[in-house]
Amino acid sequence: MRKTLTTPSGLTGAVLLALLLFLAVFGPLLTPFDFNDQNLDRQFLAPLSRFQDGALHLLGTDNLGRDVFTRLVVGARISFLVGVVAVGLAFVVGVPLGAVAGYFGKRVDSFIMRGMDVLLAFPSILLAIAVVAIFGANLRNAMIAVGVVTIPVFCRITRASVLTVREREYVTAARAQGASHGRLLFLYILPNCLEPLLVQASLSMGTSVLDAAGLSFLGLGAKPPTPEWGTMLGDAFLYYQRAPWCVAAPGAMIFLMVLAFNLFGDSLQDAFDPRSGK
């Protein structure tokens, strides 16, 4: 962890994440507006402009006169939630499946991994659209859809790690004592597979946020007036010439959050890799 923070990119990622997290937690306290306050007198105010009552709209207002900054800040909460729920779902389902496949091998392995191949065969956003189409378009289903799409990633990484770790001599030593499958898998093998999974979790947070925003942009995720970044982007898209800040602001937030998770994940990977020798 300390190694991660000493690299420039790791530090950038961590600082960005900390900033976003701060906004998500305390942001709503920093603005006098509610994210749903509509006021047609205040339509399309440019960033940094003040209304007659002296209230500052840091990032301007949208077509309904809602404060864009306030909506972004509330949207950060949603995006973190999406990332955590989607990755959590993929982790909770993918890791045990991959562990069982790698540990038992043979037919169990073929069965599970062929299933994963089917999931991987679809382009992820298409598969997510299919999931949403079946269960209905709302934020909860979008999170589930993004999570389902991410399952094979965790499954494969876990399987690959289990395959290497189970051949180590300390596992053989426990096996020679007649240790149970559960003990071998949960005490000996899985704790030593965690590092690549943590890296993947960080990287997948980024893609999940992006995918969920994409679904919302297409109208398959969060519905207006939820201040989800993808939804905001989709709404603002109609009048982008009149109010380009309404498009740029949520777009920049998505970009920053994905960048933060990727930088952090990448340097986490470098820190865990003994060959980097730092």
Partner 1 sequence: MLLQVDDLRVRYDGADEETLKGVSLQIKAGERLALVGESGSGKSTLARALLGLCPVVGGEVRFQGELLLSAKQPLRNQGYRRAVQMIFQDPYNSLHPRLSVEKNLLEPLKIHQLYQGEKSVEKARALLARVGLDPEAGSRYPHEFSGGQLQRIGIARALLTEPQILLADEPVSALDVSVQAQVLNLLAELSSERRLALLFISHDLAVVRQLCGRVAVMYRGRLVESGAVDDVCFEPAHPYTETLVEATLGHPLKKVARKESAGQGCPFVPRCRKREERCWQELPPLLENTAGRVCACHFPIGTSDRQNV
**Residues of this chain that bind partner 1 (CB under 8 A):** 168-170, 172-179, 183, 187-188, 191-192
50: which strand partners? 56
- Are 262 and 244 within 8 A, CB to CB? no
First to last CA, the chain: 12
61: which strand partners? 67
105 vs 115, beta carbon nearer partner 1: 105
Give CA–CA dist 270/278, Å, rounded.
9
116 vs 165, beta carbon nearer partner 1: 165
20 vs 101, beta carbon nearer partner 1: 101
95 vs 220, beta carbon nearer partner 1: 95
User: From the CB of 173, what's the least distance to partner 1, in Å?
Assistant: 6
13 vs 102, beta carbon nearer partner 1: 102
User: From the CB of 162, what's the least distance to partner 1, in Å?
Assistant: 15
User: From the CB of 109, what's the least distance to partner 1, in Å?
Assistant: 13
User: From the CB of 176, what's the least distance to partner 1, in Å?
Assistant: 4
User: From the CB of 184, what's the least distance to partner 1, in Å?
Assistant: 10
User: From the CB of 244, what's the least distance to partner 1, in Å?
Assistant: 53
136 vs 178, beta carbon nearer partner 1: 178
Q: What is the CA radius of gyration of the chain?
A: 22
User: Distance between alpha carbon 157 and the CA centroid of its chain, in Å?
Assistant: 17
